[in-house]
Amino acid sequence: MELENFKKLHGFFIEDLRLNQTEEFEKKITEKDINEFAKLSGDDNPVHTNSDFAKKTIFKQKVAHGFLSASLISMLIATKLPGPGSIYLSQNLKFLAPVFIDDLVRVKVTVEEIDQEKKKVKLQTECFKNEKKIISGEAVVLVNSKKDF
């Protein structure tokens, strides 16, 4: 691939990032999303896939996989901030509230720290439902430098 084409496909370079820079994305979680995630991940816990079973749980209804919502964080990092070319190094998460069928999840990623020398960025990662925080965490991502090309 030509260098210019590579640069066109690439997201932010480390030099382009700034503290408190944010990106957001929203997705309505559907029953189809939950069922497909169960098949893809192999997590077919009936709390996610069986209404009769789920009615007898703390949530009284089917609940989306926590990592289904968390995967939206990965998508936002990979496609928007820092975007294509970035490499996930770590992620911690706290699951604070459930997501149910037809809930709208808003994902937010914010640049907290930039280490130009090591080409690492620490990101605050959050998910919200009706403005209530449902996932809180931090990610560390490796980001290319323009100096590398």
Give the residue among 20, 24, 32 at the shortest CA–CA distance from 128.
Answer: 24
pLDDT in tens, 13-24: 999 999 999 999
Share of the chain above pLDDT 70, in %: 99
pLDDT of residue 2: 76
Task: Name 63's Cβ contacts closer than 8 Å, sequence gap at least 6.
Answer: 47, 48, 54, 57, 98, 99, 100
Residue 63, in any domain of the structure = yes
pLDDT confidence of residue 24: 98
Residue 149 domain-assigned? no
User: What's the whole-model pTM score?
Assistant: 0.91
Which pLDDT band, with edges at 50, 70 and 90, does 74 fall under?
very high
pLDDT at 7 over 90: no
Dist. CA 68–CA 71, nearest whole Å: 5
The pLDDT tens digits of the residues spanning 80-126 come to 999 999 999 999 999 999 999 999 999 999 999 999 999 999 999 99
* Structural domain that includes position 112: 3-144
pLDDT in the model for residue 49: 96
Q: Is 7 helix (H, G, I), strand (E, B) or coil?
A: helix
- Domain tally for the chain? 1
Q: 129 with 135: CB under 8 angstroms?
A: no
With a cut of 80, say whether residue 25 has pLDDT above it: yes
Assign residue 29 the CATH number of its domain. Answer: 3.10.129.10
Q: Is 38 a member of any domain?
A: yes
Share of the chain above pLDDT 90, in %: 91
Give the confidence band of 1 by pLDDT, cuts at 50, 70, 90.
low
**3-7, 38-42, 86-90, 114-118: lowest mean pLDDT where?**
3-7
Which residues touch 126 (CB under 8 Å, ≥6 apart)?
107, 108, 109, 110, 133, 135, 136, 137
Task: Find the helix or strand (DSSP H, E) in which 68 lies.
Answer: helix 66-79
